[in-house]
A and B are shown apart, each in its own frame.
Chain A
Amino acid sequence: MNENWVTSIGLDIGTSTTKFIVSRLLVNETKNRFSLPGVQIVDRQISYTSKIYTTPLKEENAIDVEALSLILAAEYKRSSVKLGDVKAGAVIITGETARKENAEAIIHYLAEKAGNFVIATAGNDLEGILAGKGSGAQKRSNEMDGIIANVDIGGGTANVALFQHGKAIQTCTFHVGGRLIRLSESGLVTYISPHIQPWLTAHHMMVKKGQTASYRQLYAIGEKMSEAMLSFLTGKPALHAELLQTAPLKKPMEPVQEIMFSGGVAHMMEQPRPITLGDAARHGDMGPLLAYALREAAVFYPAEVKAAQETTRATVIGAGMQNTEVSGATVFVDEAVLPLKNVPIVKVTVEQDEVWDADLFEKRVKQAIQQAVCLYEGNQPFAIALLHISYCTYAMLTAIAEAIQKAFDQHCTESTQIVVICESDMAKALGQVLAKQGPPDRKIICLDQIDFTHGDYIDLGLPVAGEAIAVSVKTLAFS
Chain B
Amino acid sequence: MEKKTVLLGETYQFASLKEVLAKANEERSGDELAGIAAANMKERMAAKVVLADVTLSEIRNYPLLSPEEDEVSRIIEEGLDESIYKAVQRWTVADLREYILSDEQSGADLLKLGTGLTSEMIAAAAKIMSNLDLIQAASKIEIITHCQTHIGAAGTLASRAQPNHPSDNLQGMRASAYEALSYGIGDAMIGINPVIDTTDNIAALLKETKEIIDQFSIPTQNCVLSHVTSQIRAIEKGAPADLIFQSLAGSQAAIESFGISVSMLDEATALINEKGTATGPNRWYLETGQGSELSSNSHFDIDQVTLESRCYGLARRYNPFLVNTVVGFIGPEYLYDSKQVMRAGLEDHFMGKMHGLPMGVDVCYTNHMKADQNDMDNLSTLLAAAGVNFVIGVPMADDCMLNYQSLSYHDIATLRSVMKLKPASAFEQWLEQIGIMQNGKLSRHAGDPAYFLTLA
Contacts and interface: CB of A to CB of B under 8 A. Distances in A.
Direct A–B contact present (CB less than 8 angstroms): yes
Contacts of B171: 142
A145 B196 contact: no
Interface in A108-146: 142-145
B200 A145 contact: no
B87 interface: no
Nearest to B211: A143
Interface string B347-373: 000000000000000000000000000
B453 interface: yes
Nearest to A35: B195
A42 B456 contact: no
A254 interface: no
Interface in A66-96: none
Contacts of B196: 30
Interface string B196-224: 10101000000000000000000000000
Nearest to A144: B456
Contacts of A1: 198
Nearest to B196: A30
B453 A145 contact: yes
Interface string B423-456: 0000000000000000000000000000001001
A288 to B, nearest CB: 35
B57 to A, nearest CB: 48
B198 A30 contact: yes
Contacts of A30: 196, 198
A43 B200 contact: yes
Nearest to B200: A42
Contacts of B200: 26, 28, 42-43
Nearest to A30: B196
Contacts of A143: 456
Contact of B198 (A28, A142, A144, A145): A28
A42 B453 CA distance: 26
B202 to A, nearest CB: 12
Contacts of A144: 456
Interface residues of B, number: 6
A30 B168 CA distance: 13
B287 to A, nearest CB: 20
Interface string A1-42: 100000000000000000000000010101000000000001
A43 B199 CA distance: 13
B210 to A, nearest CB: 15
A145 B452 CA distance: 11
A471 B125 CA distance: 65
Interface in A139-183: 142-145
Contacts of A26: 200
Contacts of A42: 200
Contacts of B453: 145
A445 to B, nearest CB: 27
A35 to B, nearest CB: 9
A30 B194 CA distance: 14
Nearest to B454: A145
A5 to B, nearest CB: 13
A405 B456 CA distance: 53
A143 B171 CA distance: 9
Contacts of A142: 171
Contacts of B456: 143-144
Nearest to A166: B171
Residue of A1, A43, A142, A144 with highest tally of chain B CB at under 10 A: A1
Nearest to B170: A142
A231 to B, nearest CB: 28
B12 to A, nearest CB: 47
A143 B174 CA distance: 11
B413 to A, nearest CB: 26
A395 to B, nearest CB: 27
A314 B196 CA distance: 32
Nearest to A43: B200
B369 to A, nearest CB: 23
A142 B169 CA distance: 13
Nearest to A142: B171
Contacts of A145: 453
A144 B171 CA distance: 11
A375 to B, nearest CB: 39
A26 B456 CA distance: 31
A185 to B, nearest CB: 47
B256 to A, nearest CB: 20
A42 B200 CA distance: 8
A26 B198 CA distance: 13
A43 B201 CA distance: 11
B221 to A, nearest CB: 23
A448 B171 CA distance: 23
Interface string B157-173: 00000000000000100
Contacts of A28: 198, 200
A42 B204 CA distance: 10
Interface string A227-250: 000000000000000000000000
B198 to A, nearest CB: 5
A360 B2 CA distance: 82
A400 to B, nearest CB: 26
A28 B198 CA distance: 10
B100 to A, nearest CB: 44
A30 B200 CA distance: 11
Nearest to A1: B198
A137 B206 CA distance: 24
A108 B171 CA distance: 43
A110 B453 CA distance: 47
A28 B196 CA distance: 12
A42 B171 CA distance: 15
A268 to B, nearest CB: 31
A26 B200 CA distance: 11
A86 B159 CA distance: 51
A28 B197 CA distance: 13
A142 B174 CA distance: 12
Contacts of B198: 1, 28, 30
Nearest to B215: A143
Nearest to B453: A145
B215 to A, nearest CB: 10
A42 B198 CA distance: 11
A475 to B, nearest CB: 26
Nearest to B174: A143
B311 to A, nearest CB: 26
A20 B115 CA distance: 67
A202 to B, nearest CB: 42
B455 to A, nearest CB: 12
A359 to B, nearest CB: 36
Interface in A307-329: none
A470 B453 CA distance: 36
Interface string B365-404: 0000000000000000000000000000000000000000
A145 B198 CA distance: 31
Nearest to B167: A38
Nearest to B204: A42
Nearest to A26: B200
Interface in B166-192: 171
B241 to A, nearest CB: 19
A42 B202 CA distance: 13
A26 B196 CA distance: 16
A144 B456 CA distance: 8
A303 B124 CA distance: 68
B206 to A, nearest CB: 15
Interface of B: 171, 196, 198, 200, 453, 456
12 contacts: A1-B198, A26-B200, A28-B198, A28-B200, A30-B196, A30-B198, A42-B200, A43-B200, A142-B171, A143-B456, A144-B456, A145-B453
8 closest A-B pairs by beta carbon, nearest first, are: A1-B198, A145-B453, A42-B200, A30-B196, A28-B200, A142-B171, A30-B198, A28-B198
Interface of A: 1, 26, 28, 30, 42-43, 142-145
Given A1-B198, A30-B196, A30-B198, 8 more contacts: A26-B200, A28-B198, A28-B200, A43-B200, A142-B171, A143-B456, A144-B456, A145-B453
